[in-house]
Amino acid sequence: MRYLLVEDNIELSEAVIKRLALDGHAVDHATTLSQAEDCLSAASYDLILLDVMLPDGDGRDFLARSRAHLETPVIVLTARSQVSDRVGALDQGADDYITKPFDFLELEARCRAVLRRRGGSARNEIALGDVIFDLLAGTLRHGDETLELRSREIRLLEVFARHPGQIMSKSQLMDRLFSYDTAVTENAIEVYVGRLRRRIDGIGLRIETVRGLGYRIETEVA
């Protein structure tokens, strides 16, 4: 998934980006609200991590202004622990908040929870026909068989799973899987799709190539 981190603390930002990258997430980084606006005008994001106090303004004010047209879920990062501050962030449109300093495990859990709620699910699992995709464990279960996936395979399959039956172009997949500072071509998408195809072969799923348009995931009928 592709995240936007809006945070001016470089040390914290680098740590967050590194941690999320271990799970295969792509993270774009903005240090100001102006940079965040530029990112949002150029790309789509699955989740925004938004600091409160930034060099050019208050993240909560930015969120309140943006909510009229911004549907992307937002987790506010704040050093303020007062109940009124947290309530204010939620009332201004935040989907959740986390207080600094925070544990990375909690941050990851809150990201998963927000994405689950937006996807209408209460669990870290997506049913694809007879196959259960566990996003937290990074596994596919089909009958008595369990297949473990690598981080990039998990994120690629997650994109397909969250858009069942939808054709995803190579450019859309690039946008969902890679940040601005990652040099990648459409050939790389072909390689990743090919690897995932081989991994899921024989467990009730297949990735169909739609000539000239892209790819979509299909469930196989036994």
Cα–Cα distance between 208 and 80 in angstroms, integer? 48
Fold (topology level) of 144-219: Arc Repressor Mutant, subunit A (1.10.10)
**CATH 1.10.10.10 domain span(s) along the chain:** 144-219
Tell me what the pLDDT averaged over the chain comes to. Answer: 91
**CATH 3.40.50.2300 domain span(s) along the chain:** 2-118
Model pTM score: 0.83
Mean pLDDT of 53-71: 91
**pLDDT digit string (tens) for 91-112?**
889 999 999 999 999 999 999 9
Q: What is the pLDDT of residue 98?
A: 94
Q: How confident is the model at residue 28 (pLDDT cuts 50, 70, 90)?
A: very high
Q: Is the pLDDT of residue 124 over 90?
A: no
Sign of the torsion angle spanned by Cα atoms 181, 169, 133, 191: negative
Cα–Cα distance between 32 and 59 in angstroms, integer? 9
CATH of domain 2-118: 3.40.50.2300
Q: Is the pLDDT of residue 38 over 70?
A: yes
Q: Is the pLDDT of residue 219 over 70?
A: yes
Q: How confident is the model at residue 80 (pLDDT cuts 50, 70, 90)?
A: confident
Q: Is the peptide bond before 101 cis (omega within 30 degrees of 0)?
A: yes
Percentage with pLDDT > 70 across the chain: 97
Q: What is the pLDDT of residue 180?
A: 84
Q: What is the pLDDT of residue 222?
A: 53
| Terminal alpha carbon distance of the chain | 31
